[in-house]
């Protein structure tokens, strides 16, 4: 058996090199053949829902249409026109972009700082930090939000008592409410960044770090000039992940600001879409908002990747 196998393996390269030029046309399809199963799965799981989303966004499609009470009406880009004509949409979009950016930056800063810290401490504190982070990671968003809200409760919360703020309400002001939500978002998403970056740091050869240390580089300098460039691919992935997560934040805002805050001051796009459209079964309008979000996220992600590629990164 073994001998037979070896023979065929030896024969094949000779065959293919000899006949390669003539077989080109058929060979060009071979990669697609191998990719077919993956593409089929992707098309079914990703392409079809997006196609449906786009399709629904062109219709007047509410519960009455779904259940057959009224005929489905084609509106062209009417739903998009409705969305873009609403002043509130633009305010919410701006708030979402700024809030998501703040969340991404804070999450990355906290996650990376703690990842570096993990490499510098002994086993016991490292284990404690890891467990604490994993606990935060594993907590469901609704639970986490409720607990944070309780911590900052004007009447019963320990934070006000410790800081001596009396019955100051954190959710009344627009920025303090956003700040409170930001804390919760960072708290529940930094562990992913921390664990991933920590794994990346572990994979960096210790000689490089040793050399930098011998040259007298400070901790900050090592991070900036040695670790960050070497961890770039990992940082790119966690950044994109964070951008997508934080742009789509729903639960935290919905729970902590009671569905968008006083007079809707803390609305972000997802909550806005839910209130304007999905909660009252206006699926067409909701789908239009969904498509707009999808396009924004795609633009941001592709723009970011392109920027990196221009800087000579092979990603």
Q: Does 43 bind other proteins (CB under 8 A)?
A: no
Among 190, 282, 286, 290, interactor with other proteins by CB under 8 A: 282
| Tally of CA atoms within 13 A in the half-sphere of 167 that contains its CB | 2
Nearer to other proteins, 64 or 109 (CB): 64
CA distance 60 to 38: 34
Task: Please answer whether residues 190 and 238 qualify as being in contact, where contact means their C-beta atoms are separated by less than 8 angstroms.
Answer: no
Among 59, 187, 190, 254, interactor with other proteins by CB under 8 A: 59
Q: Does 260 bind other proteins (CB under 8 A)?
A: yes
From residue 60 to residue 79, what is the string marking binding to other proteins with x (rule CB under 8 A)?
Answer: -x-xxxxxxxx-x-x-----
CA distance 290 to 53: 8
CA angle 245, 251, 256 (to 5 degrees): 125
From residue 147 to residue 186, what is the string marking binding to other proteins with x (rule CB under 8 A)?
Answer: -------x------------xxx-xx--------------
Minimum distance of other proteins from residue 67's CB (angstroms)? 4
Nearer to other proteins, 64 or 302 (CB): 64
Indicate the angle between helix axes 269-276 and 283-310, nearest 10 degrees.
160
Number of residues that bind other proteins (CB under 8 A): 37
Q: Does 146 bind other proteins (CB under 8 A)?
A: no
Near other proteins by CB under 8 A, which window of 6-14, 89-97, 189-197, 256-264?
256-264
Nearer to other proteins, 58 or 95 (CB): 58
Minimum distance of other proteins from residue 19's CB (angstroms)? 40
Among 139, 146, 241, 275, interactor with other proteins by CB under 8 A: 275
Minimum distance of other proteins from residue 263's CB (angstroms)? 4
Closest CA relative to residue 245, chosen from 228, 212, 270? 270
Closest CA relative to residue 311, chosen from 211, 207, 236? 236
Residue showing tokens 């909550």: 271
Beta bridge partner(s), residue 59: 74
Beta bridge partner(s), residue 60: 73
CA distance 192 to 82: 38
From residue 211 to residue 250, what is the string marking binding to other proteins with x (rule CB under 8 A)?
Answer: ----------------------------------------
Minimum distance of other proteins from residue 106's CB (angstroms)? 25
Nearer to other proteins, 119 or 169 (CB): 169
Near other proteins by CB under 8 A, which window of 12-20, 141-149, 188-196, 273-281?
273-281
Nearer to other proteins, 53 or 204 (CB): 53
At 22, which helix (H) or strand (E)?
A: helix 2-27
Nearer to other proteins, 112 or 288 (CB): 288
Burial of 235 (0-12, 13-18, 19+ CB in 10 A): buried
Who contacts 311 (Cβ-Cβ below 8 Å, separation ≥6)? none
Residue showing tokens 């949409």: 89
Q: Which long-range contacts (CB under 8 A, 24 or more apart) does 215-221 make?
A: 219/116
Residues binding other proteins (CB under 8 A)? 51-52, 54-56, 58-59, 61, 63-70, 72, 74, 154, 167-169, 171-172, 258-264, 275-276, 279-282
């Amino acid at each position: 058996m073994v001998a037979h196998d070896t023979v065929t393996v030896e024969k094949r390269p000779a065959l293919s090199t000899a006949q390669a030029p003539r077989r080109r046309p058929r060979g060009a399809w071979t990669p697609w053949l191998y990719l077919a199963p993956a593409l089929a799965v992707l098309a079914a799981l990703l392409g079809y829902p997006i196609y449906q989303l786009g399709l629904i966004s062109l219709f007047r499609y509410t519960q009455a249409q779904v259940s057959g009470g009224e005929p489905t009406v084609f509106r062209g880009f009417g739903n998009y026109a409705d969305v873009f004509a609403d002043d509130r949409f633009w305010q919410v979009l701006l708030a979402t972009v700024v809030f998501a950016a703040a969340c991404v930056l804070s999450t990355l800063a906290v996650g990376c700082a703690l990842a570096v810290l993990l490499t510098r401490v002994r086993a016991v504190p490292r284990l404690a930090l890891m467990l604490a982070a994993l606990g935060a990671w594993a907590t469901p968003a609704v639970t986490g939000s409720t607990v944070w809200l309780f911590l900052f409760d004007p009447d019963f919360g320990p934070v006000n008592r410790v800081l001596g703020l009396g019955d100051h309400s954190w959710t009344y002001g627009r920025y303090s409410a956003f700040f409170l939500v930001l804390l919760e978002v960072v708290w529940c998403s930094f562990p992913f960044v921390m664990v991933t970056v920590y794994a990346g740091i572990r994979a960096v050869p210790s000689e490089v770090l040793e050399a930098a240390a011998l040259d007298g580089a400070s901790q900050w300098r090592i991070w900036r000039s040695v670790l960050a460039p070497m961890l770039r691919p990992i940082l790119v992935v966690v950044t994109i992940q964070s951008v997508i997560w934080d742009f789509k934040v729903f639960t935290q805002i919905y729970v902590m600001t009671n569905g968008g805050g006083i007079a809707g001051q803390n609305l972000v796009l997802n909550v806005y879409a839910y209130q304007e459209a999905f909660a009252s079964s206006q699926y067409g309008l909701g789908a239009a908002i969904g498509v707009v979000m999808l396009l924004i996220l795609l633009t941001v992600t592709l723009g970011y990747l392109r920027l990196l590629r221009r800087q000579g990164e092979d990603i």
